[in-house]
A and B are shown apart, each in its own frame.
Chain A
Amino acid sequence: MPEKVERLRHDYLRHDKKFPHVWCPGCGNGIVLGSLIRAIDALKLEKDELVLASGIGCSGRMPVYVDLNTLHTTHGRALTFATGIKLANPSLTVLTVMGDGDATAIGGNHFIHAARRNLDLTAIIINNQIYGMTGGQYSPTTPYGSRAATAAYGHIEHAFSIAELAVTAGASFVARGTVYHAKLLDKLIAKGISKKGFSVIEIISNCHTQYGRRNKMGDPVTMMQEFKDRAVTVEKAAKLSPEELADRITIGVLTDIDKPNYTEELQKIRDIAEKNR
């Protein structure tokens, strides 16, 4: 095991990038990075053919550490850049990593349209229910009643579910995991990457620094313990009532469907256009 970790670190982390990373000790982002690397390794993908694009936020800092074609874009826009890259060179495997605010507040429109369009991209969304990087302001997934830097009296808006939003918007593959369930995460990410079409992996994560502290949720271990306690698999969830599910985190694959793939459709158009030229 330690040898494997050493090899993965050597193979996938940049040798010329100065560490330590920018994240707080115990931040869930590191676990997601680990899962992502293990998934890529398991799929035996060529590093030259992989692109990792991010938006802005703590999550957005992930690509700089990884030895792939990496892109740190603007806040909320990772999917738009990824769309251009994938269309320009469909042989590339294009992954994005985004925060909850990044993907569903400022980038919400891009997110639902990417899902609808069904271009073959993978969206990894680290949902820590808060704006980490800017100091703990509320995000679209901050729970009703909780405290944030901009919700000193308790949050009066309602959160939405990122994964369910993705399902409704038409994503081909949608899964949810938590940073406690790292091994499951490895599999979910690998499945998402392998899926032809738009795939979303929502990962519930801890921002103990900005969210946990304000809401007295304890240290990273305590927060992860809570993810464990609240998690319920998709299979078990199917047997529970909405009331029983109210406080639970459903984990596993929520959707896996086949739809016509965008780049293949595009090629059909090109063939017709070339014939009519």
Chain B
Amino acid sequence: MTEQSTRQVLQGNEAIVEGALAAGCRFFAGYPITPASEIAELMSLRLPAVGGTFIQMEDEIASMGAVIGASLAGVKSLTATSGPGFSLMQENLGYACVTEVPCVIVSVMRGGPSTGLPTSPAQGDVMQARWGTHGDHPIIVLSVSSVSDCFDITVQAFNFSEKYRVPVIILSDEIVAHTREAVTLPSVQKIEVFERIRPSVPPEWYIPYEDNSRGVPAMAVMGDGYRHHVTGLIHDTKGFPTDRSEEVNAFQRRQFRKITNGFYEILMTKSFMMEDAEIAVIAYGSVSRSAQHAIIAAREKGVKAGLLHLITLFPFPKKDVDPVLRQCRSVLVPEMNMGQISREVKRVNLTSKVVAINRVDGQFITPTEIYNKLLSM
């Protein structure tokens, strides 16, 4: 990240580091795991040079705890992991949700379950990203499909996490992580960076979890004079534990409301050749790249195909999926899992024809595979 925009050849994992630094991330805690380790390695090199902190913790549980701690002390924080590590992060991820601590978690998906296929691509952790931590909670899950996405979406992830006081998960996959592409990184001035809203009232007036029109309370930082209590127990507006149903209800509902309020910007999708499409592909991550190629080829054969590329996976971008289901006679959802997003698509509209391509053999979904399916539909 420099004064001028620069053209560089980077791999996806490296672009995530660049994006994080550009967004103001100055703390990384993590534990090595393929195919995410490059993020930690590059962070250990880059962060100290900008006065930041890198630490390799004893496991992913600890990494997630340290990330939340650093954010509570006012520093934008990141961790990066893959399947097994992502599982270990789930408990503290829930803590970040309930305490509304901004932080960003990258999960570079590999084949699972368990140790699975450590070096193969997969998209099997979509539902874990949504529901992995226990309890009802809203969360923001963004996907990346290219190296330039890795930069842009990481900046966006930090901005959303700061703005809505919510952990944001970036789902990458082994292909995006390790593909090298030429990218133009924008100059520092061009990057919009959002900082959490800090309290402006005197400390004695500060109510740490007070509702407002946005549903996002101002966040004091440890050490800035606004001493207050932070707990994973459901709390009242002062931050003290409560089990009074009206207070619990207000707390829980505000969590959802603050995210719903942001739907206009949080729900991100991109359309490709959708204007006159009769068949749509709905895809995300590296698979959306194959889909683009397949659509161009199918159009040459006279098939009116188009792509709805999902960037935000959760909250599910229903408002963009719904018109596609109405417009097209059938919809194809290719993904490297047994149908985690195709089920979400079906939930939007039960009457449309939704066809899935599922791969769970550690292999990438190729353009040809999607093309053949489009021609047969």
Contacts and interface: CB of A to CB of B under 8 A. Distances in A.
B91 interface: yes
A4 interface: no
Nearest to A82: B69
A85 interface: yes
A70 B92 CA distance: 17
Interface string B44-61: 010011110101011101
Interface residues of B, number: 45
Contact of B69 (A88, A266, A269, A276): A88
A274 B51 contact: yes
A84 B69 contact: yes
A92 B75 CA distance: 14
A186 to B, nearest CB: 23
Contacts of B91: 74
B230 interface: yes
A81 B228 CA distance: 16
Contacts of B57: 80, 83, 113
A276 B45 CA distance: 10
Interface string B28-71: 01000000000000000100111101010111011111111111
Per DSSP, chain A at the interface is: helix
A92 B73 contact: yes
Contact of B65 (A63, A74, A89, A269): A74
Contacts of A74: 65, 91-92, 95, 232
Interface in B322-353: none
Chain A interface size, as a band, is 35 or more
A82 B241 CA distance: 21
A85 B227 contact: no
B9 interface: no
A73 to B, nearest CB: 7
Contacts of B66: 80-81, 83-84, 87
Interface of B: 27, 29, 45, 48-51, 53, 55, 57-59, 61-75, 77, 91-92, 95, 222-225, 227-233, 238, 240-241
Given A17-B240, A72-B229, A77-B65, 15 more contacts: A69-B222, A69-B223, A70-B230, A71-B72, A72-B230, A77-B61, A80-B69, A80-B92, A83-B55, A84-B69, A87-B70, A89-B73, A270-B51, A273-B49, A274-B51
The 10 A-B residue pairs whose C-beta atoms are closest, nearest first, are A84-B69, A80-B65, A88-B73, A84-B66, A273-B48, A84-B70, A72-B231, A81-B69, A88-B70, A273-B49
30 contacts: A48-B223, A48-B225, A48-B227, A51-B222, A71-B229, A72-B232, A73-B65, A74-B65, A77-B65, A79-B65, A80-B57, A80-B62, A83-B55, A83-B65, A84-B67, A84-B68, A85-B70, A85-B73, A87-B27, A87-B66, A87-B69, A88-B27, A88-B53, A88-B74, A88-B75, A113-B62, A272-B48, A273-B45, A273-B49, A277-B49
